[in-house]
Amino acid sequence: MGDNARGAIYMCLSMAAFTLNDSFMKAVTEHLPTFEAAALRGPPVILALALIAWQRGTLKLTMARGDAVTVTLRCLGEILSTATFLYALKHMPLANISAVMQSLPLAVTLAAALFLGEPIGWRRAGAILVGFAGVMLIIRPGTAGFDRWSLLALGAVASVVLRDIASRRVSRAVPSIVVAVYSATAVTLFSALAAPYAGGWPPVSGADVLALLAASACLVVGYIAAVSAMRVGEVGFVAPFRYTSLVWAIALGWLVFDQWPGPLTLVGAAVVIATGLFTLFRERRVRRA
């Protein structure tokens, strides 16, 4: 099996793991406060990532001042994206919010052009506009289906863009897994501090504990698989397999929550994915030119 094929398998595994995490969290937050669930999910994730970093010899928590500022900004993006995503996930069908999140590559490309000065041609700029039109088909502003949870989903996209743009500014001297440890710690601490003011700490059942442990395990597997995918295969070949998360979201939404996306949501998702793939294709060609 070639490197690209292995990279594609790792990426598909990563997307399946992340979507399973979303499913477990959606199920748990139906009867537990969101911040309590996030705070309880965090410690196993932090411990697992720290152990992996220690085993690899990369658990170095000190960094240069510039990197410390950038990692702090990234942690802020992680906190905001976790809060907005989990609240939107609690009230939206799994496939719908997953479809909105498929616009991330487009949004990151646009933000990189605006804030980092990365060039984009008219073709990619046009694809971004068409992709965001697809997002509008999914959330349909002005209709009965559009509410504050749809706005929170868009807020989650914006927050992840902040996180990813900050990630690009972190120097190679800081291992990726160390950044993940800091981010997981920041989200957990913030959730624990916010929980008393957003639902408190009601008792947790044994089923909830198992679901939260499963969500933690999925997060760790997803992170490791995503990093492995980027290291094994060519980025241009592997990256499009991120969109398999929507397939998992539709399947799990139907099987677990008895939710099936409407026709306009499916059309909007297809538009977003098509324009995202086109943008990746154009970026790959520009880099090779």
pTM: 0.86
pLDDT of 81 strictly over 80:
yes
Are 178 and 59 a contacting pair, CB within 8 Å?
Answer: yes
Q: How confident is the model at residue 167 (pLDDT cuts 50, 70, 90)?
A: confident
Check residue 145 and give its pLDDT. 59
Q: How confident is the model at residue 275 (pLDDT cuts 50, 70, 90)?
A: confident
- Per-chain mean pLDDT for the chain: 86
Tens of pLDDT, residues 93-128? 998 899 888 888 888 878 878 877 777 777 878 888
Q: Where are the domains of the chain?
A: 3-288
Tens of pLDDT, residues 21-72? 999 999 999 989 999 999 999 999 999 999 998 998 888 878 888 889 999 9
